[in-house]
Amino acid sequence: MRTCPTSADAEPRFGERSRLQGLPPDLWVVERAPAQGWAQGAPIVVLVHGSLDRAASFSRVVRRLPELGVVTYDRRGYQGSRGAPVTAGLAPHIADLVHIAETYAARRLDGSEARPGAHGAGERARAPWRVVAIGHSVGATIVLGAAVARPDLFAAAGAYEPSMPWLGFHRRPARADDSTAGGAPSTPERPDPAKDAAEEAERFFRRMVSDAAWERLSDAERASRQADGPALVADLRAIRGAPPFDVTGLSVPTIVSCGGPASASHHRQTADWLETHVTVIHKSVVPDAGHGAHLSHPDAFADLVRDVVAQLPEGRDHGHALAPPRAPRPGMHAWNAPHSGGRTTVSPERTGDQEPRGHSGPPTGPDALLSRCRKGPF
């Protein structure tokens, strides 16, 4: 098997390219088996990255989930999936996620392959595998859209700061009083993405990370980001148009998470709106995280994944020792997860530079995040 393509300074391997028959041929799909090995019927987690990002940015999260089988992939137009056509709208991305989920849901450990989609849409049929999808940013939006389209296929969903500007919350508020969480939706002028895709990739990186971080990238790293420009431009145009789906039709148990004050207000407003208007959603918060929590707070993001898996009615009945409910540790913020049986979820309020479990990760400033941002800003 080929290992996932990474830059020279990338972290150690977090999975191998999947050989599963039936996956989209132009997408780079990576899987990491659970430590206990694959067990028929166990939950399998699919992680979906955001804009100007790639599967490798979840590497720190994946390594913190040894008990779970995890699938990640480069979305069409990005990195290893640049051979897949970049098309307008979110529908192709939603279809890609559904295709991957169907293929894994139909997987057989005896070597045979069930026909993807054989369990049929429209009813929550019991598939051989329980698929759970969690996304970040635009990837979170794609997860929500796929769960709306195929509630029979996804057992649970998670979304960290989904990008849904059609709800009325934007990065640049029109008025100063719109900048607080819970404020009225704003309707600012939004510039179109640059006509030059490479220019837009640089502009986006500088805005989301920092000018200094861009200047520190090598020529090869800058060229890699710019090569993802067409996919980035398609993402930005897709979310700035008409609503691609009706999120209030969501019927899959879902956790929507966001950062604290370090995160932009429109992300927190979006999470608040979703919790208020979609009955199957409850919200969690990583108090000191910004938008790139999977990079800066991998422990907290891994806990989000576990909390989403714990929503499965049989989430603890697959021979996989999922983590038990966690009691708050000193310096941690706790909240209840009503859709997971009142389970308490915790998130560190302070971070450290240590790598072992129990530490959330390094500080979130641009310089501290630069090495991880080389795998993908957000």
Per-residue confidence (pLDDT) for residue 209, from 0 to 100: 84
Domain ranges of the chain: 16-186+239-373, 197-234
Range 9-31 average pLDDT: 81
Per-residue confidence (pLDDT) for residue 204, from 0 to 100: 87
Task: Measure the CA dihedral 44/89/166/308, to 10°.
Answer: 0
Residues constituting the chain: 378
Q: Could you give the angle at the alpha carbon of 75 between the alpha carbons of 15 and 212, nearest 5°?
A: 90
Q: Which is more confidently placed, 221 or 172?
A: 221
Give rounded-to-5 percent helix, strand, coil for the chain: 35, 15, 50
What pTM does this model have?
0.76
SS3 state at 333: strand
For the stretch 184-201, pLDDT in tens is: 444 444 455 657 889 999
| Confidence band for 208, pLDDT divided at 50, 70 and 90 | confident
Q: Are 175 and 330 in contact (CB under 8 A)?
A: no
Per-residue confidence (pLDDT) for residue 170, from 0 to 100: 86
Per-residue confidence (pLDDT) for residue 139, from 0 to 100: 98
Q: Which amino acid is at 83?
A: G
For the stretch 49-87, pLDDT in tens is: 999 999 999 999 999 999 999 999 999 999 999 999 998
Percent of the chain beyond pLDDT 70? 68
Whether domain 16-186+239-373 has CATH 3.40.50.1170: no
CA atoms within 13 A on the CB side of 189: 1
Q: Report which of 58, 12, 42 is spatially closest to residue 158, judged by C-alpha positions.
A: 58
Q: Which is more confidently placed, 169 or 370?
A: 169
For the stretch 131-158, pLDDT in tens is: 999 999 999 999 999 999 999 999 999 9
Kindly tell me the burial class for residue 95, based on how many C-beta atoms sit within 10 Å of its own C-beta (0-12, 13-18, 19 or more): middle
Range 157-183 average pLDDT: 71
On average, the pLDDT of the chain sits at: 76
- Find how far residue 111's CA is from the centre of its chain: 30
Tell me which of 105-119, 256-270, 346-360 is least confident.
Answer: 346-360
For the stretch 277-332, pLDDT in tens is: 999 999 999 999 999 999 999 999 999 999 999 998 764 443 333 333 333 333 33
Burial pattern 282-319, b for ≥16 Cβ within 10 A else e, equals bbbbbbbbbbbbbbbbbbbbbbbbbbbbbbbeebeebe
| Confidence band for 241, pLDDT divided at 50, 70 and 90 | confident
Per-residue confidence (pLDDT) for residue 336, from 0 to 100: 36
Per-residue confidence (pLDDT) for residue 191, from 0 to 100: 52
